[in-house]
Amino acid sequence: MNTLGKQIEQLFKSNKISDVNGYQSKLNEYQDFPERVDLELSSLRSNIDQGKELIIEIGSYRATLKQLSQPSLSTDVSRLTTGIGKLMDKVRVIATIPTNYKPLYGVACVWGTEAWIFGQNKTITRIDMQGTVKDTVTTTCLDWPDGMSVTREREMIYSDANSRTVNIVRHGKSETLITTPQAWTPWRVICTRSGDILVNVYEESGLQLKNKIIRYQGRNIKEEINKDGQGNPIFKDGVKTLLMSENNNGDVCVSDGNADTVVVVDNTGKVRFRYNGTPARRHKSFAPRYIVTDALSQIIVADINNNCLHILNQDGQFLRCVDDCGLEKPYGLSVDSEGRLWVGLSNTGKIKVIQYPEQS
């Protein structure tokens, strides 16, 4: 009970008339009390590992915290899941964007109407949906970047094979974010929704290259993906890169150009399934390039041989091909904050922005 309440209670119990007559109400002091009071509440934060428990005891109170799953989707992506329905019978081309990059190697969306792009020179350029150049960064690369992505904080990163680094661009300047292990050269990079960075690295072995994927949390190596539970290589040796994406359930989806196969590995390092393009019944052999996942956990992979996109569900079931909107030599892929797919066409340097799921 507060002080005012105690005073009133004492008056009721008092037998002295002078106490009652001498009491003065303090109601006027509280009549200007603000209608809204902003209080800063303390919060408890913990970086406990998945599956581990944190026990807190305060006097006779006891609480147990346990992280049961990976962090949820980003705000932009989770918002989309309520507005996207089934696949459209015929996709709709929202825009065809010309660029100055021939060949065009990569596309990474920043916002709903802008993306970073790169090709066969030292620059990485940010353009809008009309093709207007918004920004240009000259990289530290000897020839051209080997990979490029955008963090969840919307900062652009790129890999530099010559210096064995992954660099981040801040205020127009490059800063070294990661240096890969000795003898391992960075190639493609992707930023995950949880904030980790996946880097495809290779090691020269005779005339072929050995590929693996390293997951970085900040500057620290968190995981290496290269062998299955029996110690067998997950990826085929060769001269082509691995291209990656992380699905909403934590699966790492990999386009292995040396095996012409999509390989999906779960968050324990186990191979869940492989997809070789056969269910799509295309005329030419399957040649996967860039791969992305969307808000519905669908896997989309560019098939450069057949001028189309393959769409799978998260369990590897083939859903459909997108081949009805003039996708000539599709290579780069990215999904924007509105759920639209930006498809980079390697030879022409154009980008097609397409809507493939229905918007409710």
Q: Please report, for the domain that includes residue 218, its CATH number.
A: 2.120.10.30
pLDDT category at 351 given cuts 50, 70, 90 is: very high
pLDDT, mean over the chain: 84
- The tens digit of pLDDT for each residue in 150-184 reads 999 999 999 999 999 999 999 999 999 999 999 99
| pLDDT value at residue 147 | 96
Residues 6+ apart with CB under 8 A from 242: 187, 188, 200, 211, 213, 235, 254, 255, 256, 257
- Count other C-beta atoms under 10 Å from residue 94's C-beta: 16
Selection from 270, 261, 203, 201 nearest residue 236 by Cα: 261
Asked if pLDDT for residue 35 goes beyond 60, the answer is no
| pLDDT value at residue 86 | 63
Asked if pLDDT for residue 123 goes beyond 50, the answer is yes
- The tens digit of pLDDT for each residue in 79-118 reads 444 445 566 667 899 999 999 999 999 999 998 899 999 9
- Ramachandran class of 85: left when φ > 0, alpha when ψ lies in -120 to 50, beta otherwise: beta
pLDDT category at 202 given cuts 50, 70, 90 is: very high
Domain assignment present for residue 299? The answer is: yes
Domain assignment present for residue 243? The answer is: yes
- Determine contact, residues 312/321, Cβ cutoff 8 Å: no
| pLDDT value at residue 37 | 43
pLDDT category at 309 given cuts 50, 70, 90 is: very high
Residues 6+ apart with CB under 8 A from 212: 184, 200, 201, 202, 224, 225, 226, 235
Asked if pLDDT for residue 72 goes beyond 50, the answer is no
Q: How many domains does the chain have?
A: 1
Give the percent of the chain with pLDDT over 90.
67
pTM of the model: 0.76
| pLDDT value at residue 6 | 61
Q: What is the mean pLDDT of residues 238-259?
A: 95
Domain assignment present for residue 190? The answer is: yes
| pLDDT value at residue 91 | 86
Radius of gyration of the chain (CA): 28
Domain assignment present for residue 245? The answer is: yes
Domain assignment present for residue 18? The answer is: no
In a 10 Å sphere around its CB, with 0-12 CB exposed, 13-18 middle and 19+ buried, how is residue 348 labelled? middle
Distances (CA, A) of 349 to 130, 293, 327: 14, 23, 12
Give the percent of the chain with pLDDT over 70.
74
Domain residue limits at 326: 76-359
Instruction: Measure the CA–CA gap between 225 and 234, rounded to whole angstroms.
Output: 8
